[in-house]
Amino acid sequence: MKILVCISHVPDTTSKINFSDNDSQFDSNGVQFVINPNDEFGLTRAIWFQEQQAATVTVANVGGPETEPTLRKALAIGANDAIRINANPTDSFFVAKQLAEVIKNGGYDLVIAGKESLDYNGGMVPGMIAGILGYNFLNSCTNIVVDGTTVKAIREIDGGKESVSTTLPLIIGGQKGIVEEKDLKIPNMRGIMTARSKPLTVVEPVDVSINTKSVKFEKPAPKSAVKLVAPDNLDELINLLHNEAKVI
């Protein structure tokens, strides 16, 4: 089984986010980047298939040379090889088209992408890839078992979970639950050393029309100061909740 894991290069959640050019561009200065958490869960599941079913695991992303440390980390975790599509990931459709081309040319059976990235939270890329290629698609996947070309999976739905059966080739949008957080793999020294010699192929993007662009970014309003009320002063608490917080 050939597996492709889509990897997003995203800011660490502890990073301080700023914008430049009149708030029209994300300012990456001083920002630490990591593997998108949903993608990391998917990568760990792919490595499980590698260990249990002799699957080959390729990781791919759309980005410039600055994203290669993130791909090298994925190789250190256990992926066999990596592909970097040499382009700026301008919007979801552009990214989906680039990844779809790699998938089509590589003949992958299973494509694991995070259901969304934590930077833009668009949640569109996995479904778009499936639509472009005509592959089966499961989103919000929390468990997957592959037997030959038959797939049994569990995905989250509003108010519960759904068990489904489908066939390869398949695109899934994975999330926490496809493996548990305690099962995430941390690169060891051997993995880090091995990753240096694993193939990282750079391919040029296919021509795609850019349909959307970010016009302006705006930070959330800062939180107001906390007001402390004495536990025996219920009148003051009720007054604040009614007149200031306006929740009663």
pLDDT in tens, the chain (248 residues): 999 999 999 999 888 889 999 999 889 999 999 999 999 999 999 999 999 999 999 999 999 999 999 999 999 999 999 999 999 998 999 999 999 999 999 999 999 999 999 998 899 999 999 999 999 999 999 999 999 999 999 999 999 999 999 999 999 999 999 999 999 999 999 999 999 999 999 999 999 988 888 899 998 888 878 889 999 999 999 999 999 888 88
Give me the residues paired with residue 111 across strands: 4, 171
The matching CATH number, chosen from 1.20.210.10, 3.20.20.70, 3.40.50.300, 3.40.50.620, for 2-217 is 3.40.50.620
Contact 10, 31 (CB under 8 A): no
Q: Tell how strand 110-114 and strand 18-20 pair up.
A: unpaired
Q: How many CA atoms lie within 13 A of 12 on its CB side?
A: 10
Rounded Cα distance between 69 and 53, Å, is: 28
Estimate the share of the chain in helix, then strand, then coil, as percent rounded to the nearest 5.
30, 30, 40
Within 10 angstroms of residue 206's Cβ, the number of other Cβ atoms is 13
> In the chain, where does DSSP find H-type helix?
37-53, 68-77, 92-106, 125-133, 189-195, 234-243
Four-point Cα dihedral 85, 89, 91, 93, nearest 10: 10
Structure confidence at residue 182 (pLDDT): 94
Residue 220, pLDDT score: 86
